[in-house]
Amino acid sequence: MITTLHTEWTIGDICKGFQYNELEGKGLFGMNGKLTIQPEYQRNYLYAIEKKEAAVVESVMNGYPLGLIYFNKIGEDKYEVLDGQQRITSLGRYIEGKFDIQDGDGNIKSFDGLSPEEKKAFNEYPLTIYVCEGTEAEIKKWFKIINIVGIPLNDQELRNAVYSGPFVTAAKEVFSNSGNANVQKWSHYVSGNVMRQEYLERALEWVSGSEKESIDAYMSKHRFDTEIKLLKTYFDTVIDWVSKVFIDTDSSMRGREWGRLYEEYHKNAYDPDEVSAKVKELLADENVDNKGIYEYILGGCEDTKLLNIRIFDEKTKKAAYTKQTTDAKAKGISNCPLCALSDIDSQKTKMWQINEMDADHVTAWSKGGATDISNCQMLCKTHNRAKGNK
């Protein structure tokens, strides 16, 4: 791959004829149409979401360097941005009056409100740009290596780059579009950020899982498809199934493995009213981890391990008490580990009866500690209550 350094281009040159689709950050162009700021393999514009666009402008105002920018040469006097899309878009949006900044004295400064001298300095600010030329494989490999300043590429953004084509373009129009009216409904069941490709990733995860293959394999197979009917239909089918089985929505539903659960349980019959009552009962139980209740119900309320219950059963408590007491007697110390560490002599060797002790999670349940014998210790009631959630 060939790279050529350009230092003669300025902000004014790059942002000349700047075009920006306010809906999704699509259709970004500069240099009077010669520069594609957001090729199809690029991520959506994120700096406004991350509240970093003002920092880009302030850097220019203060004469700070913006870092290296990389273009890909795609034709005679035609380029697309490999790295620097977020910075260039922020600069263009400021020039277009899409946002303002504050100076050190708290004064609002819009681009139109700058003095002629300030505008001239802003437009003539030099950029350091490398123009790359090479095969598609070389360009995509380089794109994977470099990072967009401040916000590293996530897995799905990298996949969109590697498998760019009509399929990715069509899929992003549906699943990476925050203006899509369905996003609010989807957000009950899908976690993440639409703009960071996380809804698209879930849709691909579900449909590829149904075909017993990876997301990468699915995207590679469908890379040149011009429509996404299967992807969209399967995603909608899963969402519709969940919403019919679980007629009430709760924040704990967000981010569950609905694609896998659909494949395992969608052929079963459920009474939505009975399901709703059971969900409410389990959500109200503070000793139950709500992450697993949906699969627990779908599976016929048989696998209690899915509930990750906080309370130890009597069998586990007795086993922990017997082991601790036997070990403590052999060492001549209290069968309460915290009493054994006490500075009070009478506590150091005190033997407690099982009904004078509480079962305690060594690693707190709220921090992921399991409710099983390996994570159970018996403490005297005084020390257990003092320990809290440590």
CATH number at residue 348: 1.10.30
The listed range with the strongest mean pLDDT (25-39, 91-105, 184-198, 294-308) is 184-198
pLDDT of 25 reads 44
- Of 34-38, 47-51, 94-98, where does mean pLDDT reach its minimum? 47-51
Residues 324 and 284 in one domain: no
pLDDT of 48 reads 58
Geometric angle at alpha carbon 166, from 165 and 171, rounded to 5°: 105
User: Last residue of a domain, which of 116, 151, 186?
Assistant: 151
Give the ranges where 64-179 is alpha helix by DSSP (H).
Answer: 85-95, 116-123, 136-145, 155-162, 166-175
pLDDT of 78 reads 93
**pTM assigned to the model:** 0.56
Q: Is there a domain that residue 85 lies in?
A: yes
Q: Is there a domain that residue 329 lies in?
A: yes
Residues 300 and 208 in one domain: yes
Structural domain for 220, as ranges: 172-307
Helical (H) or strand (E) element with 380: strand 376-380
Q: Are 234 and 210 in contact (CB under 8 A)?
A: yes
Q: Are 70 and 146 in contact (CB under 8 A)?
A: yes
Q: Is there a domain that residue 164 lies in?
A: no
Q: Is there a domain that residue 160 lies in?
A: no
Residue of 357, 365, 358 lying closest to 390 (CA atoms): 365
User: Token digits for 354?
Assistant: 């099982």
Residues 9 and 119 in one domain: yes
Q: How many domains does the chain have?
A: 3
- Of 105-114, 120-129, 253-262, 323-332, where does mean pLDDT reach its minimum? 105-114
Q: Is there a domain that residue 87 lies in?
A: yes
Q: Over the chain, what is the mean pLDDT?
A: 87
Residues 188 and 83 in one domain: no
Residues 147 and 176 in one domain: no
Positive or negative, the Cα torsion across 262, 266, 268, 271?
positive
pLDDT in tens, 305-322: 788 777 788 899 999 999
Q: Are 340 and 316 in contact (CB under 8 A)?
A: no
Residues 132 and 210 in one domain: no
Residues 319 and 270 in one domain: no
Residues 139 and 179 in one domain: no
Q: Are 194 and 183 in contact (CB under 8 A)?
A: yes
Task: Write the single-letter amino acid at 311.
Answer: I
Residue of 93, 80, 94 lying closest to 39 (CA atoms): 80
User: Last residue of a domain, which of 307, 326, 341?
Assistant: 307
Residues 275 and 179 in one domain: yes
Average pLDDT over residues 218-246: 96
User: Last residue of a domain, which of 307, 329, 352?
Assistant: 307
Rounded (10°) angle between helices 258-265 and 229-245: 80
Instruction: State yes or no: pLDDT of 95 exceeds 80.
Output: yes
Greatest alpha-carbon pair distance for the chain in Å reads 89
Q: Are 321 and 304 in contact (CB under 8 A)?
A: no
For residue 141, CA distances in Å to 80, 135, 215 come to 15, 10, 19
Q: Are 164 and 39 in contact (CB under 8 A)?
A: yes
Residues 283 and 332 in one domain: no
Q: Is there a domain that residue 303 lies in?
A: yes
